[in-house]
Structure 1
């Protein structure tokens, strides 16, 4: 009987394909505009910050197998009110998924003029296709994602391979320009790079229920994918800042450099296989992974039980239909929800900060699962330092969410969360969410974690 669990290739494809999206083609040029050649170091810092800012994902994944993504991790760590708010933050985040499809159409139209740049029908068609593929299961989707990700990585590697010979290395070094941007610009560039690669921990956690040994495979994928993304992204920055003068590439997408590197036919292929597939792989990863928190929240009572309904093959058709309709809203009504989503980022990372604080106590609170974790080899004092780095990264994310924002924006952020909190408290008050059930589920997770002991 064939295994329905994800292979390493499929897990890595979902993760890398999900991470390498619009950020690499849109945010990276902004980082170059801010830091010049220093964007190379900003990218390295960005990947490290992205990993440590989501450190609780890594720690919990190494100890406990959870089915509802990092929402379940937060529910394991935090009081119900906090985890409920966190879960709804993810539902709000789903409002931005349509942006991948519309941007993919825009990139396609830049090289195939017969394709309209703002076609609602094409965008809806792409989204419908990927939701349709998801019906056949995460395993089948993993094969589709693997094919797209392999082509995407091939396009990016071709960009690096053909770009490197066009760099005058001695001139690149001797001209300097690595540290001329100032601290504030460098910090801003780090933010751009951080958001460009954020997700290397989120995707493996979301797919934990699809893994044979989640407490081993998910954390290893987080490290492996972070390293792969680090190498690829750094090489791309190197080419982007070394082939042409900085002033020609700053704040302009990678197509400027690609057009200089590639012959016309290859350039078109790069846009389609690089930029377009980067967006489509991110969209498909989102379609696949967003369902797990929704299903878990329905199981726990945060949203109506109808969302638990599944087709015969296990596909949660009510949850996925709702997610599909939410994804279409920005396209059909020409509404951007970016501002609403950005309002949640500040509170999002405040919650994560305290989640990392809670992680510090896990070895003593759950000694047996800790012994089963491969992190057990880490001495406790070193573990505390490890967590402290995570706290610093979270504090940086909180600062980044506030920097440059008006006082009114910060007030609006907390007002948005207050509305969510009122609903969460109401669900608890009417006992739609059972505290006893949450406790029993937590105990089951602990028992399951011990079953993975080697």
Structure 2
């Protein structure tokens, strides 16, 4: 499959985001409501070993995205996953991915609904709909001021979040009474191998959101070094945070009491009333804050690039004076706020649409395999260069990890939702094939490496166009 670059663009000047900014964006995106809501259900599946399966899920989540640090050490990427698919997968696949990515915009509404619920549980006099709406609106306004303002906000929120989680972890560590490290305990792995696998699948969606760091290659000060370093840094941080919090959650109270319960149930019994209020503000509320803050930016970056290339109306990518495609951001905001205002449960809609997003992941993996072939000079000079056989093994590891998650999602979804998802995938495929023939689609080099690679691709594109005339 030929890769086409219709227009070469000079690599932009280095951005302003440092390693600490990128790491904060990744951690803030990854640590969301899952930490609060998933440990209790996991105890039902695997008992005392819920903390251990959370750690395993962190490594499984990294396995899913493990090619990204190697790719970003070779290439500076502007449009996230879309740019990878367009730059290494070809024009038709780029069109398929551009359309398949759009359902992700709805994920912002999950945080607004959850924020309203948490705030109402803490202060019953508050209207959950109004609070959730104001919450999403605040971060919409913050994101309108650009990536740098979003990143500074994210860093401050992550610091406060970690203080709240540390308060819970340290306060609970002195009250642990269960044998949390006794692997021979009958309560450990109580659900057997199946229970462990199901718990990992339950946790895994909360463990690799930091892959969004790759979206900020244009804004990073030293993208080829700091983006992969930030991704790697997120793994041990998540192991410590998730593992430590889960150890306290499973170690303080009898398992039969905490099984199926949210983390707030344990926190209310571990902390004093005043500290519990501080934990709720600095923990669950800020977890949602960091997630929605980066989610809004993560959504518009790939969509904006696909608009510039002509897959979607180019006018949508027009930017304000802070470099933000405000029309796309406003669209993402409206999609996020409407379910909150209508007090609408969107779990079924999200579940069926996420099948489309999961299917699009396989387009990414196809593109991963082509890096050494399409960008040979960039790959040879990459900071994380490894032999090709080793790189292909890394990509295959990602493929296997994704296939397991994808099949588990398909098996657990009702048949009508699977049919909706499959139909949507077919629509994306047809759209990519048809739209790729349009003269309005102009693929730009939205990733930068060794100039020899980009020039070779561009020359091949011009040669193919000449032969087709």
TM-score (norm 1): 0.90
Aligned residue number for residue 315 of structure 1: 324
Rounded Cα–Cα distance in structure 2 between residues aligned with 1:172 and 1:101: 37
1:183 and 2:202 correspond:
no
Q: 1:446 to 1:236 in 2, by over 3 A?
A: same
Residues 6 and 211 of structure 1 are in contact (CA less than 8 Å); yes or no, is this contact kept in structure 2? yes
Rounded Cα–Cα distance in structure 2 between residues aligned with 1:347 and 1:4: 33
Give 1:256 deviation, angstroms: 1.0
Match of 1:263 among 272, 286, 296: 272
Rounded Cα–Cα distance in structure 2 between residues aligned with 1:345 and 1:95: 10
Match of 1:30 among 27, 36, 41: 41
Give 1:274 deviation, angstroms: 0.2
Match of 2:294 among 285, 289, 294: 285
Aligned residue number for residue 421 of structure 1: 429
Aligned residue number for residue 248 of structure 1: 257
Aligned residue number for residue 218 of structure 2: 209
Kindly report which structure 2 residues correspond to 1:134-145, keeping only aligned pairs within 5 A, or say none. Answer: 134-145=143-154
Give 1:450 deviation, angstroms: 9.2
- Which protein has greater RCO, CA pairs closer than 8 Å, 6+ apart? 2
Residues 16 and 200 of structure 1 are in contact (CA less than 8 Å); yes or no, is this contact kept in structure 2? yes
Residues 297 and 303 of structure 1 are in contact (CA less than 8 Å); yes or no, is this contact kept in structure 2? yes
The superposition leaves residues 360-406 of structure 1 with CA deviations (integer Å, 9 ceiling, x where unpaired) of 44335432111221221x33333333233222212212222222334
Kindly report which structure 2 residues correspond to 1:261-410, keeping only aligned pairs within 5 A, or say none. Answer: 261-353=270-362, 355-376=364-385, 378-410=386-418
Match of 1:196 among 186, 203, 206: 206
Query: In proportion to residue count, which structure has more helix?
Result: 1
Kindly report which structure 2 residues correspond to 1:124-139, keeping only aligned pairs within 5 A, or say none. Answer: 124-139=133-148
Q: 1:407 to 1:101 in 2, by over 3 A?
A: closer
The superposition leaves residues 194-228 of structure 1 with CA deviations (integer Å, 9 ceiling, x where unpaired) of 01223122x21112211022121111111101220
Match of 2:445 among 438, 441, 448: 441
Match of 1:100 among 93, 111, 123: 111
Aligned residue number for residue 97 of structure 2: 86
Rounded Cα–Cα distance in structure 2 between residues aligned with 1:444 and 1:111: 48
SS in 1 for 2:49: helix
Q: 1:27 to 1:82 in 2, by over 3 A?
A: farther
Residues 35 and 186 of structure 1 are in contact (CA less than 8 Å); yes or no, is this contact kept in structure 2? yes
Higher mean C-alpha displacement, 124-133 vs 339-348: 339-348
Give 1:426 deviation, angstroms: 3.9
Rounded Cα–Cα distance in structure 2 between residues aligned with 1:172 and 1:383: 36
Rounded Cα–Cα distance in structure 2 between residues aligned with 1:290 and 1:302: 16
**Unmatched 5+ residue regions in structure 2?**
1-13, 456-469
TM-score (norm 2): 0.87
The superposition leaves residues 98-143 of structure 1 with CA deviations (integer Å, 9 ceiling, x where unpaired) of 2212212221222223322x22x32222222111111222112211
1:70 and 2:74 correspond:
no
Give 1:331 deviation, angstroms: 2.1
SS in 2 for 1:312: coil
Residues 24 and 197 of structure 1 are in contact (CA less than 8 Å); yes or no, is this contact kept in structure 2? no
**Unmatched 5+ residue regions in structure 1?**
none
Q: 1:148 to 1:77 in 2, by over 3 A?
A: same
Give 1:17 deviation, angstroms: 0.9
Aligned residue number for residue 52 of structure 2: 41
Give 1:61 deviation, angstroms: 1.6
Residues 82 and 351 of structure 1 are in contact (CA less than 8 Å); yes or no, is this contact kept in structure 2? no
Rounded Cα–Cα distance in structure 2 between residues aligned with 1:225 and 1:98: 25
The superposition leaves residues 70-120 of structure 1 with CA deviations (integer Å, 9 ceiling, x where unpaired) of 12112223233333232333321111212212212221222223322x22x
1:114 and 2:125 correspond:
yes
Q: 1:168 to 1:417 in 2, by over 3 A?
A: same
Aligned residue pairs total 441
Residues 95 and 330 of structure 1 are in contact (CA less than 8 Å); yes or no, is this contact kept in structure 2? no
Q: 1:100 to 1:449 in 2, by over 3 A?
A: farther
Aligned residue number for residue 164 of structure 1: 173
Residues 4 and 139 of structure 1 are in contact (CA less than 8 Å); yes or no, is this contact kept in structure 2? no
Q: 1:365 to 1:449 in 2, by over 3 A?
A: closer
Residues 27 and 196 of structure 1 are in contact (CA less than 8 Å); yes or no, is this contact kept in structure 2? no
Rounded Cα–Cα distance in structure 1 between residues aligned with 2:298 and 2:195: 34
Rounded Cα–Cα distance in structure 2 between residues aligned with 1:316 and 1:350: 27
Give 1:150 deviation, angstroms: 0.4
Please provide the CA RMSD for this pair: 2.4
